[in-house]
Amino acid sequence: MGRQDGKENFGKVELLRKSRELHTKRQALISQAKILKSEYKTLLEEFQPRIDNLQSIANNLAPEFKRLYKESQEVYSEGDGASAKILSIQGHAVQDKCEAVNAETNAMRAQLKNILNQIGNFHKKAEDLETQSGNYREEAEALRPTPVRGFNASKIINNEEIEEFLDEFPQKIFKEIESIRFSDNVSGNSFEMRLGISHKDRRTNKSVITMFRDLFREEKSKEKMIEEFKMTIAHEVGHTVFEKFMDDKSRWKWGEVYQASMLNKRFITAQAEYGRADDFCECFAMFKVKPKKLEKFDEARYDFIKKVYSTLEKTGEKNNEKD
């Protein structure tokens, strides 16, 4: 059984949540089935001797009935109609008793069978739920295969909160991002204390984003640190956008914007000055985290990024941003 609501647009976190919900429901059904199974066992232990006993009564009644029937036939053929009638009445009484015994047996058997059917239904439903749960999980993985790891150790933001943040991006970007992880370390480069870096995985040619411990976390509020984390992740995601989803022409266009700002050294952040890519990434991050600030800072940059962004949001397979 597949999903009925394929048109709805869930993020990965929501899809995984649904998958877990269905899995939990499945577990509940399995436990209910287990309870029924033990009820069945108890009932069977109670019923089985009774059924056996009734069966042996029925087995004894059958020849008794046969005998009475036969005798009745015999005396009738001998002309003794009165005796035949008595024997026939006795025979019917035995037959009635036999039917009552069978009815009692059948009632107990039906009760047992009914429980077995319920158990079967629970198992079938549980199986369907597990399939649906698996479908949601597969859909989630297809939407964004990028693993997110280690953030629970950051004590700032956990893996699920990162996933929720990633859900807000156009998902096709993550086809080019190998993994995003938190390393409870300080950035390797002692000259710039960076919260995050991205490098290429040589095998897949995709970006690997690594986030680091914030050395100054004692001095900052939690909100501030979360914001910085998000800014940094969005910045690193921006590198992938700049390299993989923009063509030479748009990169060159951004370079012109960057060069113009070099004249007066006016940039959205200090890091934006490092180069045209970092300028783009800082603006991309600002667009994601504080769009109003970017819009206020430079409408041209804001519009540029907005355009790149909306191209990425289109579901088509074409990756390059066209002018």
Binding footprint of Zn ion on the chain (CB under 5 A): 278, 281
Return d(Cα 272, Cα 266) in angstroms, integer: 9
Q: What is the CA radius of gyration of the chain?
A: 38
Least separation in angstroms between residue 198's CB and Zn ion is: 7
Residue 112 one-letter amino acid: L
Of residues 47 and 165, the one with the C-beta less far from Zn ion: 165
Of residues 178 and 278, the one with the C-beta less far from Zn ion: 278
Of residues 13 and 281, the one with the C-beta less far from Zn ion: 281
Return d(Cα 256, Cα 109) in angstroms, integer: 85
Return d(Cα 223, Cα 216) in angstroms, integer: 14
Return d(Cα 160, Cα 139) in angstroms, integer: 17
321 forms beta bridges with 246
- Taking CB atoms, the residue at the shortest distance from Zn ion is 278
What is the bridge-based pairing of β-strands 148-149 and 207-212?
unpaired
209 forms beta bridges with 180, 198
Of residues 278 and 298, the one with the C-beta less far from Zn ion: 278
> Which two structure tokens, joined as six digits, stand for 191?
């000259």
Least separation in angstroms between residue 308's CB and Zn ion is: 16
Of residues 65 and 169, the one with the C-beta less far from Zn ion: 169
Q: Which residue has the tokens 């985290």?
A: 289
In our burial notation (b when 16+ CB lie closer than 10 A, e otherwise), range 278-317 reads bbbbbbbbbbbbbeeebbebbeebbebbeebbebbeeeee
Of residues 126 and 281, the one with the C-beta less far from Zn ion: 281
Least separation in angstroms between residue 239's CB and Zn ion is: 6
Least separation in angstroms between residue 286's CB and Zn ion is: 13
Of residues 29 and 281, the one with the C-beta less far from Zn ion: 281
Least separation in angstroms between residue 226's CB and Zn ion is: 20
Residue 192 one-letter amino acid: E
Least separation in angstroms between residue 13's CB and Zn ion is: 26
The Cβ of residue 220 has, within 10 Å, a number of other Cβ atoms equal to: 14
Least separation in angstroms between residue 129's CB and Zn ion is: 45
